[in-house]
Structure 1
């Protein structure tokens, strides 16, 4: 049990980091699309 608990913390941290990166990437992509759309208009 101790090993699984020891591995759980870094795994959760890694997952949160991945989710944060994905969210930032999506936000940047949407922002880029908006800038492109309004830049041409």
Structure 2
């Protein structure tokens, strides 16, 4: 998994090893706030 997109991090390496546990990235909270403000607050 060289490239990682999205708002959720999955614990998995390029060989397919890992726990597959999911956790929110920092951008998750930012995007949640953008949606809540209807795009008015982009900082």
More helix by share: 1
Bigger relative contact order, structure 1 or 2, given CA contacts below 8 A and separation 6+? 2
**TM-score scaled by structure 2?**
0.31
Give TM-score, length-normalised by structure 1.
0.32
